[in-house]
Amino acid sequence: MSTRRPNIVFFFTDDQRFDTIRALGNEEIITPNLDRLVERGISFTHAHIPCGTSGAVCMPSRAMLNSGRTLFHLEGAGQSIPDEHAMLGETLRAAGYRTFGTGKWHNGARAYHRSFSDGDDIFFGGMADHWNVPAFHYDPEGEYKGALPWIERWQTDSQVKWRRADHINAGKHSSEMVAEAALRFLDGYDADNPYYLYLSFLAPHDPRSMPPEFLAMYDPDTIKLPENFMGGHPFDTGALHIRDEQLAGFPRTPEETRRHIAEYYAMITHLDAQIGRVMTVLETRGELDNTLIVFAGDNGLALGQHGLMGKQNCYEHSVRVPLVLAGPGVPQGVLTDSYAYLLDIFPTLCDLLDIKVPDSVEGLSLAPVFADASATVRDTLYFAYTDTQRAVKNRQFKLVEYVKGGRRTMTQLFDLVNDPCELVNLADSPAHASKLAELRAELFRFRDDWDDRDSEWGQRFWTAYEA
């Protein structure tokens, strides 16, 4: 009997919201391969990120995922990861895995080099024209010194910038680029040691484009508007004029919002097809049953909910993400609402593989939920956006606090059980005064436990909050 550890394939997407898998309840979207994965594994329907310390929320999100660190224990905004913080890929390499990374890596070349023994079509940026991705081939020295001129065609044909890259995948969609890099790796792999294959897609991040046959699957006129669609957000969140919010006109209109959602769904369906290509090859190679598969997204997206377009907020549509695990040691066809963060994936994989969790990892293993879907790993969750928003939630209520201009500007309290779309603010309700006080106490506990007040963002937020 083989004692070889299972292979690991990690599908990671960009800007994919938690409610974008058909098997998990969205009947408008077409995701046959993700549906198959849901049937094979366990789906965490309440997986989250702690929001972010940058308008590019994906940057700290990816740093937390790959280091297992909490939000304010990252260097900078998560762009770089100190050497003393163990990386997931690095830990697997030390345990004998061949590690291959392809696609988006938003946390610096040094952290990538520590994580992966192999790779190809590596994108060190945040976003790109999906049909012309500037990328690197794998550099065994970890230098990645190349630079190419790049025209940002989705903005203007006359704006030329320099991008770190040694080649451009002209004419190939980014989702296909990532899948095909992984397929090349699998095609040439015949080593005895297990592999860790990290596919980090650029989709469904804007600019939203995809092969036309996928867009044709969706009629914007038939797309349902979200229940919490608004023409504009009712107050200033501190991030109303960020890049993401400029992607649609003001006020938001039903017609434009439906078009954005249709394009978003089409990108996810195209992405789903690329995941299917990889899954098929794993099955053909006879490796599917001995492969741990992880599927997750780096952050959510509003797309018209609460009058917002982006993810720079603490609403459910922006902080909740998809998370599915399948393979050896994982139950099949299970849905759990147990709370989780993406940073919990690192220690969870270590537990499944009988690998010691590095001391620098702060995430919590989700393995207890595999034995009992009702098990609780986390009772409450903390969220923070730069120096303008802080939030905490338990199993029923969420508190969100806002500051701007050196003072507290708004408090929101939502009953997530009875108001999942977060439309009714109970902060001024006398009947909920004790609940408000309880959640504020929990907010302060997290602030101290996560060293939020000591961060550059926390110093500004809490000074204004307490003024």
Q: Which fold has domain 381-465?
A: Arylsulfatase, C-terminal domain (3.30.1120)
pTM for this entry: 0.96
Main-chain phi, psi angles of 405, to 5 degrees: 65, 30
Positions of CATH 3.30.1120.10 in the chain: 381-465
Query: 267, exposed or middle or buried, with CB in 10 Å at 0-12, 13-18, 19+?
Result: buried
Q: Split the chain (467 residues) into runs of 10 and give each run's mean pLDDT.
A: 84 98 98 98 98 94 97 82 94 98 95 97 93 96 88 56 88 98 96 96 98 98 98 97 96 98 98 98 97 98 98 98 97 98 98 98 98 96 98 98 96 98 98 98 98 96 96
- pLDDT at residue 1 in the model: 37
- pLDDT at residue 154 in the model: 46
Round the average pLDDT of the chain to a whole number and report it: 95
Positions of CATH 3.40.720.10 in the chain: 7-371
- pLDDT at residue 157 in the model: 53
Please give the helix or strand (H or E) that residue 433 lies within, else none: helix 433-449
> In Å, how far are 221, 321, 322, 402 from 296, measured between CA atoms?
29, 7, 5, 29
Sign of the dihedral defined by the CA atoms of residues 138, 144, 146, 150, in that order: positive
The CA dihedral of 152, 126, 401, 318, to the nearest 10 degrees, is: 90
- Over the stretch 137-162, which tens digit does the pLDDT of each residue have? 999 999 999 888 866 554 455 566 77
Q: Which fold has domain 7-371?
A: Alkaline Phosphatase, subunit A (3.40.720)
Q: Which two tokens stand for residue 54?
A: 């940058």
Provide CB contacts within 8 A for 25, sequence distance 6+. 19
Provide CB contacts within 8 A for 370, sequence distance 6+. 42, 329, 330, 331
The contacts found for 237-240 with CB under 8 angstroms, 24 or more apart, are 237/308, 237/312, 237/313, 237/388, 237/389, 237/402, 238/385, 238/386, 238/387, 238/388, 238/389, 238/402, 238/403, 238/404, 239/55, 239/310, 239/312, 239/313, 239/385, 239/386, 239/388, 239/389
- Over the stretch 43-70, which tens digit does the pLDDT of each residue have? 999 999 999 999 999 999 999 999 999 9
